[in-house]
Structure 1
Amino acid sequence: MQPGPVLILGANSDVAKAAIVQYAAKGHHIMAASRNTAELAAFVQSSVTGPGRVSVLSFDAADFASHAGFYQSLPEKPQTVVYAAGYLHPNEAAMLDFEGSYRMMQVHYAGAVSILNIIVTDTANTRLERIVGLSSLSGVRGRKSNFIYGSTKSAFTQYLAGLRQYLFSRKVTVNVIVAGYIRSKMTAGLPLPESLMLEPAFIANAVVNAGKRFTIVPGFKWKLIYLVLKYSPERLVAKLP
Structure 2
Amino acid sequence: MNQNTGKTVLILGANSDVAKQCIIQYIHKGFSVIAASRDTDSLEKFVADNRLDASKVIILYFDAVDFDSHQKFYDELPVKPHIAVYTAGFLVDNEKAMKDFKGTHQMMQVNYMGAVSILNIIAMDHSNSHLERIIGLSSLSGVRGRKSNFVYGSTKAAFTQYLAGLRQELASRKIKVNALVIGYIRTKINEGLQLNESLIMEPDYVAKHIVNAGNSFTIVPNFKWKIIYVILKILPESLVAKLP
Same fold (TM over 0.5): yes
CA drift at 1:26: 1.0
Contact persistence 1:77–1:125 (CA under 8 A): yes
Matched letter for residue 177 of structure 1: L
Match of 2:23 in 1: 20
Aligned counterpart for 1:7 among listed residues 5, 10, 23:
10
Deviating more after overlay: 182-191 vs 1-10: 1-10
Match of 2:45 in 1: 42
User: In structure 2, the residue corresponding to 1:113 is in which secondary structure?
Assistant: helix
Match of 2:213 in 1: 210
Contact persistence 1:24–1:48 (CA under 8 A): no
Matches within 5 A, 1:209-228: 209-228=212-231
Unaligned stretches of 5+ in structure 1?
A: none
CA drift at 1:49: 2.7
Aligned counterpart for 1:32 among listed residues 32, 35, 47:
35
Equivalent-residue separation in structure 2 for 1:47 and 1:98 (angstroms): 39
For the aligned residues, what is the CA RMSD? 0.9
Matches within 5 A, 1:109-128: 109-128=112-131
TM-score, scaled relative to structure 2:
0.97
CA drift at 1:46: 1.1
Equivalent-residue separation in structure 1 for 2:161 and 2:194 (angstroms): 29
Matched letter for residue 160 of structure 1: L
Equivalent-residue separation in structure 1 for 2:127 and 2:102 (angstroms): 37
Equivalent-residue separation in structure 1 for 2:100 and 2:39 (angstroms): 24
CA drift at 1:2: 2.4
CA drift at 1:44: 1.3
CA drift at 1:48: 4.7
Equivalent-residue separation in structure 1 for 2:88 and 2:174 (angstroms): 25
Contact persistence 1:25–1:49 (CA under 8 A): no
Match of 1:134 in 2: 137
Contact persistence 1:109–1:152 (CA under 8 A): yes
Equivalent-residue separation in structure 1 for 2:218 and 2:88 (angstroms): 18
Equivalent-residue separation in structure 1 for 2:150 and 2:171 (angstroms): 31
Matches within 5 A, 1:137-216: 137-216=140-219
TM-score, scaled relative to structure 1:
0.98
CA drift at 1:3: 4.0
User: In structure 1, the residue corresponding to 2:135 is in which secondary structure?
Assistant: strand
Equivalent-residue separation in structure 2 for 1:48 and 1:225 (angstroms): 38
Match of 2:237 in 1: 234
CA drift at 1:234: 0.5
- How many residue pairs end up in the alignment? 241
Equivalent-residue separation in structure 1 for 2:55 and 2:48 (angstroms): 9
Aligned counterpart for 1:90 among listed residues 89, 93, 96:
93
Matched letter for residue 220 of structure 2: V
Identity of aligned residues (%): 62
Equivalent-residue separation in structure 2 for 1:146 and 1:33 (angstroms): 28
Unaligned stretches of 5+ in structure 2?
A: none
